[in-house]
Amino acid sequence: MEQPVLPEPGSTERTRLRRIPEKAVTDREVLHAILDAGLVAHVGIVDENGQPYVVPVAYARDGDRILFHGSTGSRLFRRLADGAPTCVTVTLLDGLVLARSAFESSMHYRGAMALGTCTVLMDEQKDDALRRISDHLLPGRWDDIRSPSRKERVSTLVLALPLDEVSVKVSDGMPDDVEEDRDRPVWAGVVPIREVFGAPLPDEAGAAFPVPDYVSGWTR
């Protein structure tokens, strides 16, 4: 388990995991599956004084890039539009790992991190990206709602980050206790965590219409 991770396409000196390399996964399908399963990404942006900010965003994967949007009025997002380096991280928490020592106690998770600089999407590409973000978060919804107006599109900054420099970590095993802890007389294992949808709650005018089939079919 402690073998060094060999460089793979998409892995660089910056994203090659130095800690816990056995949790590093370089399969691009796993990367895509993580990004497709997440709903929120955390974007790192550094301001003009070197202060980092970590901002949650809705996003979508489009092939080998991540699409996300912000307000054109946000000074942080404008920095990304100007080519500031960024990091976009998606973390899916899958469970708690109850080992027999504090040190080995941990979490099950799937995590993807992408480093790079963003491209600002314009015109048809921008419209397409907005639809993709909606389709990722609210599949089936787009055709039922009003498309962005010219004014709304102008106030929205749509960014694309290529998945060129990425790292993927998956922790999904049973507790990895050291030999001398294994006889400890205590329950040990994993408590799974998952997200579930609750019953849809309509607003006042929405209650006059049936819950759409696409909403009833959403699962996590």
Only one of the segments 2-10, 28-36, 59-67, 211-219 lies at the binding site for a copy of itself (rule: CB under 8 A); that segment is 211-219
Supply the minimum distance, in Å, between the C-beta of residue 28 and a copy of itself.
20
142 binds a copy of itself (CB under 8 A): yes
Query: Residue 202 interacts with a copy of itself (CB under 8 A)?
Result: yes
SS3 113: strand
User: Nearest distance from residue 206's CB to a copy of itself, in Å?
Assistant: 4
203, 200, 94, 114 alpha-carbon torsion, rounded to 10° = -50
d(CA 168, CA 90): 10
CB of 171 to a copy of itself, least distance (A): 11
Q: Of these, 52, 63, 123, 217, which contacts a copy of itself (CB under 8 A)?
A: 52
Which distant-in-sequence residues (6+ apart) come within 8 Å of 181 by Cβ? 99, 100, 101, 104
192 sits near a copy of itself (criterion: CB under 8 A): yes
If binding means CB under 8 A, how many residues of this protein chain bind a copy of itself?
Answer: 96
| Spacing of C-alpha 206 from chain mean position | 30
Q: Rounded CA gap, 84 and 179, in Å?
A: 47
Among 8, 78, 91, 125, indicate the residue that binds a copy of itself (CB under 8 A): 91
Q: Is 53 in the site for a copy of itself (CB under 8 A)?
A: yes
d(CA 145, CA 157): 20
Of the pair 65, 157, the CB lying nearest a copy of itself is at: 157
CB of 148 to a copy of itself, least distance (A): 5
Rounded Cα gap, residues 179 and 37, in angstroms = 36
Is 109 a binding residue for a copy of itself by CB under 8 A? The answer is yes
